[in-house]
Amino acid sequence: MKVTQPHTAAPQWKRTERRVAIQAAIAGAALAGLAWTGAGRPRPVPKPVDLAAPRSLEQLGLPLDATRALVPADNPQTPAKVALGQRLFFDRRLSAGGTVACSTCHDPARAFTDGLPTSIGVNGGTGQRNAPTVLNALYDKTQFWDGRVNTLEEQAALPIVNSVEMGQPTLEAAVAGIAADKTYPSAFRGVFGREPNGPDLLRAIAAYERTQASFDSPFDHFIAGDRGAIDDAAKRGWELFNGQARCNLCHALTDTKADVTNFTDNDFHNIGINIVRHQVVPLARQAEKLIRSGHAEDIDRAAIQTEMSALGRFLVTKKEADIGAFKTPNLRDVLVTGPYFHDGSQETLWDVIDHYNKGAGLQNPYLDVDIQPLALTEEQIDDLVAFLASLTSPDYRGQGIEELARQRALSRTTRPQRDTARAFGPKPPRPSPPAL
């Protein structure tokens, strides 16, 4: 089978703010930390914009009944509660010293991400994990890359009290920070009938996050019957997604039925990302001793602040099979939510597909059994990216066009994961895991 080589030259594309931020972070340059030099001033907290508004439940492709069923009985949606949650989401007084907000790492203008490999919190502290998008997080059966909590309410609590994220000593300290504003007590009384408190603060933020359902993409119109909604490349990519590329083995509810809604199996997989460079056996032993309590706060600190982050789902289950396993993400708006994977290590969708195409991590004893060389040609990789780009919602259409052009140009000159020989080679035997 003939393989087309990538182009050796590419046009000079305009450097966008997003590209500068990503490249500076990857290179370890000072750009991402400039706001913390000198006087130590915090980075600006993103301001609420139209992209932050609650989204319609009438979007094409949105599973209406399932969406309504996901609202917990003890935290019903109301307009006033959602408005309060949105205000809290952008309020940096929830953090120690009033320096960052939820929106710092989940900026609506960046599809509720921060565009960095791993996020920067209070005092310029950097964690070990990439900030996943809030878009469609309401459909996730578990939250965080390792699924250490189940609900959006539980999720909202942990960054507030993590010392390298929002840095508060307790949730009560965050409540005190916002309660000093005279308008908050009346808002809480109006929504909950009582004074500001931790559980209600989390309920409000979660209620707001449940309004961020993102559908109505070109692919949704294609599935609904508009054959011209996506181009031929995206159509071929959709066939590859469910066939030779094997994407559906993780990005669908079953291996045999295509998923046109959430593109996830709600499971955890070791896909061979950076685990080989970690001494996982000593890390696993250390984790077992450190996290015997099973408390979410302990797991959260290990996941965000230490090399034990590489253990993934093992931090939660303590099962050897879960070493290095991370949650399968929803693929909607994936084009505009990079960089990719739990550690933000891959800059473009071409890098992501190259990683899978060569069967990366085949010497990893904990690698998922479905990872193998895929023998995808350059044209097929381009088609897969075209399909993934078709999952971009209307709110991010312009950003998606710009980002696709940036990634395509970069893919023609820089392909760190590309290994054609391995992609078209046999799958070697997997080594046995060492004894824990």
Q: What is the CATH number of the domain that holds 201?
A: 1.10.760.10
Amino acid identity, position 144: F
Identify whether residues 56 and 120 lie together within a single domain. yes
Q: How confident is the model at residue 6 (pLDDT cuts 50, 70, 90)?
A: very low
Q: Is residue 13 part of a domain?
A: no
Cross-strand partners of 107: 113
| d(C-alpha 96, C-alpha 122), whole Å | 7
Q: What is the pLDDT of residue 291?
A: 72
CA torsion, ordered 420, 423, 428, 434, to nearest 10 deg: 90
Identify whether residues 195 and 222 lie together within a single domain. no
Q: Is residue 387 part of a domain?
A: yes
> Span 113-117, mean pLDDT?
96
Q: Among residues 168, 189, 209, which one ends one of the domains?
A: 209
Kindly calculate the radius of gyration of the chain based on its CA atoms and give it in whole angstroms: 22
pTM over 0.75: yes
CB 354 within 8 A of CB 418: yes
Identify whether residues 301 and 359 lie together within a single domain. no
Q: What is the DSSP letter of 344?
A: T
Q: Is residue 250 part of a domain?
A: yes
CA torsion, ordered 259, 262, 267, 268, to nearest 10 deg: 110
Go through the chain and tell me how many residues it has: 436
Identify whether residues 153 and 236 lie together within a single domain. no
Question: Is the per-residue pLDDT at 128 higher than 80?
Answer: yes
| d(C-alpha 168, C-alpha 156), whole Å | 13
Amino acid identity, position 220: D
CB 377 within 8 A of CB 2: yes
Q: Is residue 18 part of a domain?
A: no
Cross-strand partners of 143: 149
Closest by CA position to 292, among listed 276, 316, 268, 271: 316
In this predicted model, what pLDDT tens digit does every residue of 179-223 receive, in sequence order? 999 999 999 999 999 999 999 999 999 999 999 999 999 999 999
Q: Among residues 174, 190, 209, which one ends one of the domains?
A: 209
Residue with the bigger pLDDT between 434 and 229: it is 229
The number of folded domains in the chain is 3
| d(C-alpha 348, C-alpha 407), whole Å | 6
In this predicted model, what pLDDT tens digit does every residue of 51-102 receive, in sequence order? 999 999 999 999 999 999 999 999 999 999 999 999 999 999 999 999 999 9
Q: What is the pLDDT of residue 48?
A: 52
Q: Is residue 98 part of a domain?
A: yes
Identify whether residues 385 and 237 lie together within a single domain. yes
In this predicted model, what pLDDT tens digit does every residue of 246-270 receive, in sequence order? 999 999 988 888 899 999 999 999 9
Range of the domain at 319: 280-323
Q: How confident is the model at residue 436 (pLDDT cuts 50, 70, 90)?
A: confident
CB 291 within 8 A of CB 299: yes
Q: Is residue 110 part of a domain?
A: yes
Q: Is residue 428 part of a domain?
A: no
